[in-house]
Structure 1
Amino acid sequence: MNRPARLAAAVLTAAMAVLTTACGSEGGDSSSDAIKGAGSRDGKTSASPSASASQGGVRRPEITLSKEFQADFENWTNSDPKLQAILNDGREELRSKYAAIIEADPESEAVAFYNAEATQATARKWIRQFTDDDDTIIGKVRVFDPQVQLSDTGSGVLFYCVDERQASTRNRKTEKIVKTPDKPESLVQYRLRLDKSSAGVWRTTSLTTVPGACS
């Protein structure tokens, strides 16, 4: 699915140069492999994300993935309601991008809903890498090891891992399938900063990825 490492390793290469760090409060070290003191895995069961959600009176967009692509979010729960809200919106931000690829819709309203202006531009550029080549995604990804906390400035900080080794791209015209390499680089750590909007949505304002950080 990465083509060969496109879905994860090259997910937001351009973001590294234009976005601020996704780790911790201001002055934090983005090379850190974990959020100090964070622990979101209160339960051991996988959380099943709903296609639509209404939290805090905010109507969120419906996000539906095809039957040919599955995103499993493992242990995506936290006993703190504020941290759970960050987890929920961080999860839907990723699902919105997967759905946009599947629907061949780089201008997806759901992507805009969960991303601030800077990350919207980068997300749409990534989605177009697939849609311009008329590719979709199939198979399964495992999204695991979420670590979440609130920074001193009130921003949400979310780290999580994505294992893409069971996913592939498929060309809509030729039906050619390209599998994700079974390599450590196909396990990628995502590092997000999220800020709560006036409407009560935790929108992603910064995102970087570190291939191989979860191996």
Structure 2
Amino acid sequence: MARRTLPTAVAFATTAALVLTACGGSDDSSSDDIKGADKGSSSPSASASASASAAVDRPKITLPSSFKLTFESWTSGNAKEQAVLDDAKEELRAGYAAIIANDPGSEDLAFYDTETGLPQSKKWIKSYTDKNVTVIGELPAFDPKVTLVKNVDGRTATLGYCTDESKASTKDRKTGKVVGNPAGTDPEVFYSVTLRKSAQGVWQNASVTSKRGGCAK
């Protein structure tokens, strides 16, 4: 039940997703040079940036026990990379929370999306809500790869990760019918996301693309 390319009829078109780094791609050692000045999370400016980001009043997102979204190895020794991972994780949680709450206009999701990225996310959510279905089961997100893009403002990052839909399904809100991927469908989906850092210091999804298959766990 991966994001944007979920099972069967409710699958979200790849062209409507956001952009991340390839799953299983190599680490980019230049990521420490983001913002074109600070090197390493131990610098004063990096520490100040991390503190400012942590001080933002982020939404408190909860998911019901009927849908277990897990994040395997979403950690980094680099404070800047960890900030990207933390916000990207919450954006994904906010998206599924919106589906479950039948709320395409979720303010929590809007908090974690840019103005250009939000319409894509709403379209993804509506691919469920328009069909009156929700999501259930388990969905692990794993093998995240962050790249901090070196540019003039240091506010762009890419993230690649994979999900495994083997134990995730959709459930019709009215009939209770549960549907998973058709037999023979590769349950693993790779996502490539582009993120932009807001003035508040929040890493927001700007675009997403997805491709079924190609993940190695």
Q: So what's the TM-score if we normalise by structure 2? A: 0.79
CA contact (8 A) 1:14 1:122 kept: no
2:83 corresponds to which of 82, 85, 100: 85
Aligned length: 188
Structure 1 residues 114 and 183: CA distance shift in structure 2, 3 A: farther
Structure 1 residues 106 and 150: CA distance shift in structure 2, 3 A: same
How many Å separate the matches in 2 of 1:184 and 1:71? 20
Structure 1 residues 170 and 33: CA distance shift in structure 2, 3 A: closer
Q: Which structure has more RCO (C-alpha within 8 Å, separation ≥ 6)?
A: 2
What is the identity, as a one-letter code, of the residue corresponding to 1:91? K
Instruction: Name the structure 2 match of 1:36.
Output: 26
Higher Cα Rg, which structure: 2
CA contact (8 A) 1:100 1:106 kept: yes
Q: So what's the TM-score if we normalise by structure 1? A: 0.79
How many Å separate the matches in 2 of 1:86 and 1:33? 16
1:63 paired to 2:67: no
Instruction: Name the structure 1 match of 2:196.
Output: 195
> Following superposition of structure 1 onto structure 2, how do residues 2-81 of structure 1 map, counting pairs within 5 Å?
2-4=6-8, 6=10, 10-15=11-16, 22-23=20-21, 34-38=24-28, 55-81=53-79
How many Å separate the matches in 1 of 2:141 and 2:94? 14
What is the identity, as a one-letter code, of the residue corresponding to 2:84? I
1:130 paired to 2:128: yes
CA contact (8 A) 2:61 2:93 kept: yes
2:141 corresponds to which of 140, 143, 146: 143
Name the SS for the 1:106 alignment partner: coil
CA-CA distance at 1:184 after TM superposition: 5.4
How many Å separate the matches in 1 of 2:205 and 2:73? 20
Instruction: Name the structure 2 match of 1:106.
Output: 104
CA-CA distance at 1:125 after TM superposition: 0.8
What is the identity, as a one-letter code, of the residue corresponding to 2:174? K
How many Å separate the matches in 1 of 2:13 and 2:110? 16
CA-CA distance at 1:118 after TM superposition: 1.9
Question: What do residues 157-195 of structure 1 show as CA deviations (whole Å, max 9, x unaligned)?
Answer: 110001111001111110011023464532111111111
How many Å separate the matches in 2 of 1:116 and 1:71? 23
Instruction: Name the structure 1 match of 2:158.
Output: 157
Name the SS for the 1:126 alignment partner: helix
Structure 1 residues 164 and 189: CA distance shift in structure 2, 3 A: same
CA contact (8 A) 1:35 1:148 kept: no
Structure 1 residues 5 and 213: CA distance shift in structure 2, 3 A: farther
Question: What do residues 25-52 of structure 1 show as CA deviations (whole Å, max 9, x unaligned)?
Answer: xxxxxxx55543349xxxxxxxxxxxxx
Name the SS for the 2:69 alignment partner: strand
Structure 1 residues 109 and 59: CA distance shift in structure 2, 3 A: same
CA contact (8 A) 1:115 1:204 kept: yes
Name structure 2 gaps, 5 residues minimum: 30-51
Name the SS for the 1:86 alignment partner: helix
Structure holding more helix per residue:
2
CA-CA distance at 1:206 after TM superposition: 1.6
> For the aligned residues, what is the CA RMSD?
2.3
Name structure 1 gaps, 5 residues minimum: 24-31, 40-53
How many Å separate the matches in 1 of 2:9 and 2:146? 26
How many Å separate the matches in 2 of 1:83 and 1:12? 28
